[in-house]
Copies of this chain bind each other. A is one copy, B any other.
Amino acid sequence: MAPPLAGRAENAIQARLLRLLRDEGSLSRVDITERLAVSRTTVAAEVVRLVELGLVRDAGPAASRGGRRSTMVDLSPDLRFVGVAVGATSLEVAVTDARLEVCDRRSEPVDVRRGPEEVLARVLQLTRELMDGQGGGRPSGVGVGVPGPVDFHAGVPVSPPIMPGWDAYPVRDAVVRELGCPVVLDNDVNLMALGEQQGGVARGARDFLFVKIGTGIGCGIVVEGDLYRGADGCAGDIGHIRVREDGPHCACGGKGCLEAVFGGAALARDALAAARSGRSPALADVLARTGTVTAADVGRAASAGDAVAMAMVQQGGRDLGVVLAHLVSFFNPRLLVIGGRVSQLGHALLAEVRGVVYRRSLPLATGNMPVVLSELGGLAGITGAVRLVSDQVFSPR
């Protein structure tokens, strides 16, 4: 791969300047001086250094504000970040510019249970294809999300229940070795939370929860603007909270876990039963036509007025709502965001969740707390991945 990797921030002022340009776009030197509250001389010197490092460029004269004409400064148009979202059954890779706008993306079905070597080979292949499409070169950083607990500092998955073969596999270091750039590995839900904060419905929110309902159920926790990971890195693991004493068995070995009653697999299981028994004509029809039923079919059948499908969405929303009501009383977030594939059940689900949360949490905690659907949908994880690795590249070493 041809041109050399651009450098990283060398000091705190450079870091603040790079993040400012990332989040707000090109700025004049005068504006930068004001925003960073440092001297013109300091800004001039740091910009020279960042140009040398290949991280920023001069971008022509600024519109006059009177006095000496200022010049605009911008992030280098050559910088590229790569975001990777490994799911249970799909892989998505995107390349973005330094402002984290997606330039190009690829997705393909994958079975995460085939293990890290096979999945990471696909990640690297897609990354190389995407970078070639951008004119070659190495990415400035790669962020990778996986559907399971991660030791963030070590860059390895930790006993991920749905990822056999990945436990303690050095994912981060393997990608660093192949691509030779900074790499971060995190839990998919944490990255989705950061993604919504960077470019979605939680933009600017400092204390909020992002709840993912997909194959698994989990929660990303943002405290004072940063991810809270907990003492062992497994904060937010709400999928195994027991919501029904005599509920169905769960993959974790427990019974009646939230995930076992309302995760994607649980919904598909219940939908199949409703189709086979004929209780749901709409789901029976899907089964007859396609040979299977999925969580998404439940959503479609509910929207079309199927009573059994609607009852499944409502019961799931109530179970989820009870757990979230507890978390709202405990955590007093500014905002509750619901995302992940099952959240595509949409407004019927949201109405149910809101009803339970607002009824069962303290008025003081909910008076000013919107419960909203993810805005970025499938892009949340990718956006969070490039945000997290750009935070690292735009930090002093």
Contacts from A to B (Cβ < 8 Å): 149, 158-159, 207, 219, 221, 223, 228-238, 240-242, 252, 254, 322-323, 325-327, 329-334, 360, 362, 364-365, 367-369
Determine if A329 and B237 form an interchain contact, defined as CB atoms under 8 angstroms apart.
Answer: yes
Determine if A230 and B158 form an interchain contact, defined as CB atoms under 8 angstroms apart.
Answer: no
Q: Can you name 11 extra interface pairs (CB under 8 A) apart from A237-B329, A237-B365, A238-B329? A: A158-B364, A221-B331, A229-B332, A234-B362, A237-B332, A238-B330, A241-B330, A242-B360, A252-B362, A254-B360, A330-B330
Known contacts A207-B230, A207-B231, A231-B207; decide if A330 and B365 are in contact (CB<8 Å): no
Residue of B nearest to A206 (CB): B231
A325 to B240 alpha-carbon distance, docked (Å): 10
A236 to B328 alpha-carbon distance, docked (Å): 9
Determine if B231 and A329 form an interchain contact, defined as CB atoms under 8 angstroms apart.
Answer: no
Residues of B within 8 A of A368 (CB): 231-232
Q: Which of A149, A158, A329 has the most CB of B within 10 A?
A: A329
A369 to B149 alpha-carbon distance, docked (Å): 17
Known contacts A240-B329, A326-B323; decide if A231 and B364 are in contact (CB<8 Å): no
A254 to B329 alpha-carbon distance, docked (Å): 13
Residue of B nearest to A209 (CB): B330
Determine if A365 and B332 form an interchain contact, defined as CB atoms under 8 angstroms apart.
Answer: no
Residues of B within 8 A of A362 (CB): 234, 237, 240, 252
Known contacts A223-B223, A326-B241, A326-B323; decide if A332 and B364 are in contact (CB<8 Å): no
Residues of B within 8 A of A329 (CB): 237-238, 240-241
Residue of B nearest to A332 (CB): B230
Determine if B327 and A330 form an interchain contact, defined as CB atoms under 8 angstroms apart.
Answer: yes
Copies of this chain per assembly: 2
Known contacts A223-B228, A228-B223; decide if A364 and B149 are in contact (CB<8 Å): yes
Residues of B within 8 A of A330 (CB): 219, 221, 235-238, 241, 327, 330-331
Shortest beta-carbon distance, A250 to chain B, in Å?
12
Determine if A232 and B332 form an interchain contact, defined as CB atoms under 8 angstroms apart.
Answer: yes
Determine if A365 and B334 form an interchain contact, defined as CB atoms under 8 angstroms apart.
Answer: no
Q: 9 A-B contacts, Cβ less than 8 Å apart?
A: A207-B230, A221-B331, A230-B333, A232-B368, A234-B362, A241-B329, A252-B362, A326-B326, A327-B330
A237 to B362 alpha-carbon distance, docked (Å): 8
Residues of B within 8 A of A240 (CB): 329, 362
A301 to B236 alpha-carbon distance, docked (Å): 40
Residues of B within 8 A of A254 (CB): 360
Shortest beta-carbon distance, A209 to chain B, in Å?
9
A229 to B334 alpha-carbon distance, docked (Å): 11
Determine if A234 and B365 form an interchain contact, defined as CB atoms under 8 angstroms apart.
Answer: yes
Determine if A235 and B331 form an interchain contact, defined as CB atoms under 8 angstroms apart.
Answer: yes
Residue of B nearest to A254 (CB): B360
A367 to B369 alpha-carbon distance, docked (Å): 34
Determine if A365 and B230 form an interchain contact, defined as CB atoms under 8 angstroms apart.
Answer: yes
Residue of B nearest to A323 (CB): B326
Residues of B within 8 A of A360 (CB): 242, 254
Shortest beta-carbon distance, A150 to chain B, in Å?
11
A368 to B234 alpha-carbon distance, docked (Å): 12
Partner of A333, one of B231, B238, B242: B231
A354 to B238 alpha-carbon distance, docked (Å): 19
For the complex of A and B, the 4 pairs showing the least CB-CB separation, nearest first, are: A230-B332, A231-B334, A235-B332, A234-B364
Residue of B nearest to A369 (CB): B231
Partner of A241, one of B230, B325, B369: B325
Residues of B within 8 A of A369 (CB): 231
A365 to B254 alpha-carbon distance, docked (Å): 15
A150 to B61 alpha-carbon distance, docked (Å): 51
Residue of B nearest to A235 (CB): B332
Residues of B within 8 A of A332 (CB): 229-237
